[in-house]
Chains A and B, each alone.
Chain A
């Protein structure tokens, strides 16, 4: 039998390495800007403008037009190809837009307005508030759901906490991913990132429940076996399912990532990272946590193997 849950120190170390960049980034960002993560205009308000020109245009030159007009913190970058440039800057009114549009046409020629988005700061603040509420509501509902799903286990609280630890792990991993991509490619936390994260939470809990479900079943079937062995057995038995599910989900997500265009790129990449993390955490975070807790070695180093009989006795 494979010794999976016994190597938990290694698994926890890997998780820690995955989470660390995100935490460091948050601290760095906090000291730099006072915010936790770089937010997109969905939350802060602002303007996003995508133009496709007849010939290649350098983002820095186009951005220069905006800087000259007084929008000093303008960001400009290519999307899809070198003729298409996206610009992000502060709020703008119709008259200002017309002036800048004229300046751009004069310098770079006519363009096709692919996308224009301008969100007032008040709307951004409302969305931020709603996002916070959504995260709280999702946490409360998922907690209630876990409590319901594990009401028949001997220590439902421990299983519940382990499942929640796993999904917090997944959220932190997606934050880490966003942090790294922010440094590499300037990605920001937008409304769809939040969507991806909440979807990942749903999937992650699902994965954890499948394994815990099997542990519950095997505890009855293999009485007398140490919990660690039962847990290992359950992981192996559900592994093929986990991998198959993961592969099918990844196949469709990768298809959208590669063919779906730039609008959905952050969304899909976050979902992919989150789903992989969700499967990892259900096997290597949630399950070892439950075993460690039941063995009493979570907080101390003393090991006391727990037998399955004691587990089911209380059930």
Chain B
């Protein structure tokens, strides 16, 4: 029986550990990084990750708008993603995401966006690239300026910032409007390349009809800065070193990533492919909060009813099962943070349903135990037989639920049915964990309780409820 105490100790450690993870505390760095090596290193495991249907926000599915049989230009979607990401980051939202899905689609998530329609328009809009004469004013990349081509760029931006629809930006000269020399139409091709010393640079070719004007301007302004601006935002501020006729290079202290990103933005001031909105899903913040409050209420009421039912029907074993259930709930929450699982409304429903399933295993065991007791077996034997006889039914039952979950998970991978996925994930995590708590944890508790108090229990049918 000494083994039982080791098991009890292991279970208690596991419980304490999962409780520590599950509670909204500050966790040491090694736990944040070591146990949750997610895609997002900035992820904070103090809080559960909530889906857009709970925290409010907009999810958009964009599709490349060219006919099905026509192949997309190579890398077009990747380039589009970089541009969309930049525009999304300009919206000033907490943790927006852009993900490619399949060959021609991308999912954009905009949590907490206030004006979804306008945000979507901003994302899909065709941007404009300009070459601007700064007239000697010092400007840094990412600054916002007016140009003669877009004299209201700063005013529009300030309005959006005031309305909370754009992130605050650096605006060094709100009153100035700098002269636009040329727009992005003059560019024929732009690529990031390496020079003979393997430094990254951006190489560009001009369209033949524009090269004359560009040559004249660069010849007359050697030594001056020619800023490259996209939709009012400064991308780069190269200095003209020589007159440029057909092609030129921009050099600087670029990393490969910076060079490629700049090249893509110069190439596609406009998106490389038009993007079509094929699916929009907006959940208002108020509905999200309602859903959180309501599922919390439902979880508490449902959980309390189940516990009451278990204790009334099965007495002492019911109480032990209740303790196992508390461990079960904590383990689940800890798993959600570690995996991580993004909680959605159907996901919460799956979790609450899995509480019912976890209890089901205990019911199978306890019913079997009662039967064995009634047929006159000793208490210890009845407990052991109860667990061993009930096991095949528990295993088979959970397996059939897991089969359903696997199919549902696959089905939920379709964008239109993505609500289904959250349900499948929490239900299957729940079913797997319940096999551990309902069988191993409850049995360990029963055994160690029996070895302590078993003799007294023999005479009391009331405590065992048979």
- Select from chain B the residue with minimum beta-carbon distance to A49: B282
Interface status of A119 (Cβ within 8 A of chain B): yes
Q: How far is the CA of A199 from the CA of B364 in the complex (A)?
A: 20
Secondary structure type dominating chain B contacts = helix
B121 touches A94 (CB 8 A): yes
- Select from chain A the residue with minimum beta-carbon distance to B352: A252
Q: How far is the CA of A78 from the CA of B170 in the complex (A)?
A: 46
Minimum C-beta distance from B406 to chain A (A): 8
A252 touches B284 (CB 8 A): no
Q: Which of B341-357 contact A (CB under 8 A)?
A: 345-346, 349, 352-353, 355-357
Q: How far is the CA of A142 from the CA of B53 in the complex (A)?
A: 32
Q: How far is the CA of A209 from the CA of B295 in the complex (A)?
A: 32
- Select from chain B the residue with minimum beta-carbon distance to A142: B403
Enumerate chain B interface residues (CB-CB to A < 8 A): 53, 61, 116-117, 120-121, 277-284, 286-287, 290-291, 294-295, 297-299, 301-303, 305-306, 309-310, 313, 345-346, 349, 352-353, 355-357, 359-360, 363-364, 367, 371, 392-393, 396-397, 399-401, 403-408, 410-411, 414-417, 419-420, 423-424, 427
Interface status of A194 (Cβ within 8 A of chain B): yes
A116 touches B294 (CB 8 A): no
- A-B pairs with CB below 8 Å: how many? 200
Minimum C-beta distance from B358 to chain A (A): 9
Interface status of A69 (Cβ within 8 A of chain B): no
Of the residues B278, B352, B357, B407, contact of A255 by C-beta under 8 Å? B352
User: Known: A130-B417, A248-B360. Is A256-B279 also a contact (CB below 8 A)?
Assistant: no
Of the residues A115, A137, A142, A263, contact of B284 by C-beta under 8 Å? A115
Minimum C-beta distance from B105 to chain A (A): 10
Q: Which of A234-283 contact B (CB under 8 A)?
A: 237, 240-241, 244-245, 247-249, 251-256, 258-261, 263-264, 267-268, 271
Residues in A neighbouring B400, C-beta threshold 8 A: 142, 145, 202-203, 205-206, 209
User: Known: A251-B302, A259-B301. Is A119-B367 also a contact (CB below 8 A)?
Assistant: no
Minimum C-beta distance from A113 to chain B (A): 5
Residues in A neighbouring B411, C-beta threshold 8 A: 130-131, 133-134, 194-195
User: Known: A123-B61, A127-B416, A259-B297. Is A137-B410 also a contact (CB below 8 A)?
Assistant: yes
What would 15 A/B residue contacts be, using CB atoms closer than 8 Å?
A50-B287, A52-B286, A114-B283, A116-B116, A118-B279, A124-B416, A134-B411, A195-B420, A195-B424, A198-B408, A241-B367, A248-B359, A252-B353, A252-B355, A260-B349
Residues in B neighbouring A263, C-beta threshold 8 A: 53, 291, 345
Q: How far is the CA of A192 from the CA of B420 in the complex (A)?
A: 6
Give the size of the chain A interface in residues (CB under 8 angstroms): 67
Q: Which of A170-218 contact B (CB under 8 A)?
A: 191-192, 194-195, 198-199, 201-203, 205-206, 209-210, 213
Residues in A neighbouring B280, C-beta threshold 8 A: 116-118
User: Known: A116-B281, A256-B302. Is A206-B396 also a contact (CB below 8 A)?
Assistant: yes
Q: How far is the CA of A132 from the CA of B416 in the complex (A)?
A: 14
Residues in A neighbouring B282, C-beta threshold 8 A: 113, 115-117
Residues in B neighbouring A267, C-beta threshold 8 A: 346, 349
Residues in A neighbouring B116, C-beta threshold 8 A: 113, 116
- Select from chain B the residue with minimum beta-carbon distance to A207: B397
Residues in B neighbouring A50, C-beta threshold 8 A: 287
- Select from chain B the residue with minimum beta-carbon distance to A241: B367
- Select from chain B the residue with minimum beta-carbon distance to A117: B281
Q: How far is the CA of A145 from the CA of B349 in the complex (A)?
A: 26
Of the residues B287, B349, B403, B414, contact of A256 by C-beta under 8 Å? B349
A191 touches B416 (CB 8 A): yes
